[in-house]
Amino acid sequence: MKSNYYFKFEDLQVYQKAIAFGELVNKQIDSFPKHEMYRLSSQFIRAADSIAFNIAEGSGSTDTNFNRYLKMAWDSAHECVAVSTKERLRGYITFQEEEENRKMVTEISKMISALRRHLNNKS
């Protein structure tokens, strides 16, 4: 169901992909052992959700400030790569699942970088 209330950042493909990635991560951590709840699980979902949160938060500001938030989103995306690797090494996800995580993070990172370049070229 689509909301009657609209925010411009919701049109950004990078935001939509970041939302989808956060939901994928949320499903993945459901199967993690309970002792990881406040360790790896928490770290991964916070980093994954932070990508979309930073895009949304910075979008209504100046280009310079938005660029700063996009950098934080990019940093969070890269943090997700490290956490995903740890997940695989600990046997919580398969190689294929890690590859899917990496594929999504790569696409999101490239989109963030392109948007940052666009904002830099405007000024």
Tens of pLDDT, residue by residue over 18-56, are: 999 999 999 999 989 889 888 899 999 999 999 999 999
pLDDT band at 90 (very low <50, low <70, confident <90, very high): very high
What pLDDT, on a 0 to 100 scale, did the predictor assign at position 81? 98
pTM, entire model: 0.93
What pLDDT, on a 0 to 100 scale, did the predictor assign at position 9? 95
For residues 59 and 75, give the distance between their C-alpha atoms in angstroms, rounded to a whole number. Answer: 17
pLDDT band at 75 (very low <50, low <70, confident <90, very high): very high
Domain 35-122 has what CATH class?
A: mainly alpha
Q: Is residue 6 a contact partner of residue 89, using CB atoms and an 8 Å limit?
A: no
Examine the pLDDT at 123 and tell me if it is beyond 80: no
The burial class, CB within 10 Å (0-12 / 13-18 / 19+), for 63 is middle
Instruction: Report DSSP state, residue 36.
Output: G
pLDDT band at 99 (very low <50, low <70, confident <90, very high): very high
For residues 34 and 71, give the distance between their C-alpha atoms in angstroms, rounded to a whole number. Answer: 32
Q: Which residues contact 20 (CB under 8 A, 6 or more apart)?
A: 104
- Looking at every residue in the chain, the average pLDDT score rounds to 95
